[in-house]
Structure 1
Amino acid sequence: MKILLVDDIQIERMQLAIRLKQQGHIVEMAESGIKALSVYPEFEPDLVLLDISMPEMDGFQVACKIRELYPEWIPIIFLSSHDAPEIIANAIESGGDDYLIKPVDKLVLRAKLTAMQRIAFMRKQLNNKTAALARANRELEKLASEDGLTKVRNRRDVDKKLKEMISVHGRHSMALTVILLDVDFFKLYNDNYGHIQGDKCLVEIAGSLNELFSRNGEVVGRYGGEEFVVLLGHSDVYQAELHGERIKTNIANLMIAHEYSTVSDCVTVSQGVVSIKPNGRETAEQLYHMADRALYQAKRQGRNRYVVYDPMMESEEL
């Protein structure tokens, strides 16, 4: 074990340190409570052997400070030449776990250290299991919010994020943008290049969008099938159009061959763009509806373009 030995009497400190090292332990010595507190975080002991009677800070004060500063439990054994019941009780109340009478008997010391070593081993096992559980939980959270194929956010997670953004932007009277984009003639792509290649195409587009929108307040998700959605916080109509153009250019630069498309030799996307300053009471479905109407117009106008939503679109036949 790594043992922090705190005792203001040098000869007693040295003698006990020698015994501990002979038993195979790593020992860090401190001649005062203040020194002990300064070396504690870097040394990270498995056990503290703490003298009670010391100048400046006694052992009770040091133990209380350790428990206050370092919530992770480490056993503390007090050392004292006093065996009065009230002193022992005070030692336990101040954060100690055991009590040894000076001069410390060799057999008793070995037995106490053996017991504490078992505890230290169990504590490390528990910490390892806790860390592994935390990693597993993080992975589960990621899987629950991630689209299995493209690794961008899934529809459920995007819906949740959009609802949060509507609330926040409505409260602060800020504009937000939703872009719904659809891969042009994707059925023809799948039919002629195969579904495996189709999956690769979607993965490549998703990765490109993720790189394009990676800042705080920017969200990329898979809406379903060959459709993706981009959420952009603090984005007005002017910025929304710039983002639409960025997407168009970025997808074109991927140069994914699509000889069966009637608008380009490479894969392209159509985009429905809606930018509003919400009041906070809108639903995600309402914003998706507006983006979908604009997307329909983009396809109707020839694809490979973005169209910004206009309320007049509601009167047009689908």
Structure 2
Amino acid sequence: MAQPSTSLTVLVVDDQAVPRLLAKAAVESLGHRVLECADPVAAVQVFLQRKPDLVLLDVEMPVHDGYWVAQQLRSAEQGGWTPILFLSGLHGDEDVWRGIEAGGDDFIAKPVTTLLLAAKLRAMQRLMAMRAKLLERSEELRQANAQLQQLSQIDALTGLANRRAIDQRLHQEIAACRREGRQLTLALLDIDHFKRYNDRAGHVAGDACLQQVARLLRETCLRPRDVAGRYGGEEFVLILPATPRAGAMTYARALLRQLHLAALPHPDSPVSERVTLSGGITTCVPDAHTTAEGLLLRADDALYNAKAKGRNRFFSYEMKVDTEEDRPHHRPH
């Protein structure tokens, strides 16, 4: 008889020594390894410790029968699947139904013949191979879906979070900061006179400018929950959890300083020879009435004020000052 291409480890469970030894001999003659167990409770422990590929399980055993053992094995697998073949002289319709209901996969009538056992084991091997392929395909599909999900939330040009991801993250952080009782800062940023940049330098240069500003924003988001995103066109968003009003203004000044040091040339800005940003900031401890839409409206209103005051600055919606007015040396002692 041809030997199987894959050798299995088979757990044989039978309280009677002679049938157990006959089953063991038949399995070993087919080129498989055997684990023996005479006690139903011990069989469950052997199954958990040794993790066999297949179980041959006698039905009629004292105290705990084979149906009980099958139920214990299925409960222990937690999503896995190990084929269970019942060995029994009982093979009526009701017996088969009870076995399948308990978690078994097939019946082999006693006395066991090597030819029938070989056929059953090969059938189980085919099912195991099919299941392994399905699991492999499922994992490949899961990874592909995860990659698509990630790509669907990233702005293709800048690599920052896109508008969809920003909206989702903002809702999450509102809920999180509400639970934690912590302040949440949201900032909307515009590259000053970006249309004039594109008109003078061209869209290829404009895209490169967006990428450089995006890189700077990404580098300034140092904490795990800080998020920088592109909201559309030349507009960017910063979500800064656990950032109070004063801290947000300090962050904004540092960002403007880093952009100044980057010295990105602007070909046609009335504000500066370099690329500059205007930003609107809003900060609050979210409550039951706080919404993403409300925060965005306040940040947009603050952005409008920053532009009205001369651009190249951030304006705080709550503090009613900008980063020029709020410099430390202007603060009263």
- TM-score scaled by length of structure 1: 0.79
Q: Write the mapping of 1:221-232 to structure 2, written as runs, cut at 5 A.
A: 221-232=229-240
Q: Please, which of 1, 8, 12 is the counterpart of residue 3 of structure 1? A: 8
Give the deviation of 1:295 after TM superposition: 2.0
* Correspondent of 1:96 among 100, 104, 110: 104
Aligned 8 A contact 1:269 1:305 in 2:
yes
Instruction: Name the CA shift for 1:219/1:112 in 2 (closer, same or farther; >3 Å).
Output: same
SS at structure 1 position matched to 2:80: coil
- Deviates most, 6-15 or 194-203: 6-15
After TM superposition, the structure 1 = structure 2 runs for residues 34-183 of structure 1, keeping only pairs within 5 Å, are 34-40=45-51, 45=53, 47-52=54-59, 59-70=66-77, 71-80=79-88, 82-83=89-90, 85=92, 88-170=96-178, 173-183=181-191
Contact 1:295 1:307 (C-alpha < 8 Å) held by counterparts = yes
3-state SS, counterpart of residue 279 of structure 1: coil
Q: Tell me, what secondary structure is at the counterpart of 2:246? A: helix
Alignment of 1:141-290 (within 5 A): 141-170=149-178, 173-213=181-221, 215-290=223-298
Change (3 A) 1:283 1:90: closer
Asked if 1:19 corresponds to 2:29, the answer is yes
* CA–CA distance in structure 1, aligned partners of residues 213 and 221 of structure 2: 12
1:115-162 per-residue CA deviation (whole Å, 9 max, x = no partner) reads 223322322232233223323332343344332322322223323433
The alpha carbon displacement at 1:179 in A equals 0.7
Distance 1:84 1:115, change over 3 A: closer
**Deviation (angstroms), 1:230:** 0.9
In the TM superposition, what is the alpha-carbon distance from 1:253 to its structure 2 partner? 5.0
Matched pairs, number: 304
Matched to 1:37, the amino acid is L
Worse-superposed segment, 193-202 or 9-18:
9-18
Give the whole-Å Cα distance in 1 for the aligned partners of 2:50 and 2:118. 25
1-structure distance, mates of 2:258, 2:288 = 32
Displacement of 1:221 = 1.9
Does structure 2 retain, via aligned residues, the 8 Å contact 1:6–1:51? no
**1:29 aligned onto 2:35:** yes
The 3-state SS of whatever aligns with 1:150 is coil
Tell me how far apart the structure 2 counterparts of residues 103 and 253 of structure 1 sit (CA, whole Å). Answer: 86
When residues 94 and 223 of structure 1 are mapped into structure 2, their CA distance, relative to the original with a 3 A threshold, is same
Secondary structure of 1:145 counterpart: coil
How much has 1:14 moved relative to structure 2?
Answer: 5.0
Change (3 A) 1:79 1:254: farther
Q: CA–CA distance in 2 between the matches of 1:89 and 1:283?
A: 56
Deviation of the 1:301 alpha carbon: 3.6
User: Which consecutive residues of structure 2, in runs of 5 or more, have no partner in the other structure?
Assistant: 1-5, 322-333
Q: Mean alpha-carbon deviation: is it higher for 174-183 or for 251-260?
A: 251-260
Per-residue deviation at 1:107? 1.9
Unaligned stretches of 5+ residues in structure 1 = 314-318
- Work out whether residues 12 and 34 of structure 2, in 8 Å CA contact, stay in contact via their aligned partners in 1: no
For 1:61 and 1:189, locate their aligned partners in 2 and report how far apart those are by CA, in whole Å: 76
User: How far did residue 96 of structure 1 move?
Assistant: 0.7
Contact 1:177–1:233 (8 Å) recurs in 2: yes
Assess if the C-alpha contact under 8 Å between 2:201 and 2:267 holds in 1: no
* Counterpart secondary structure, 1:100: strand
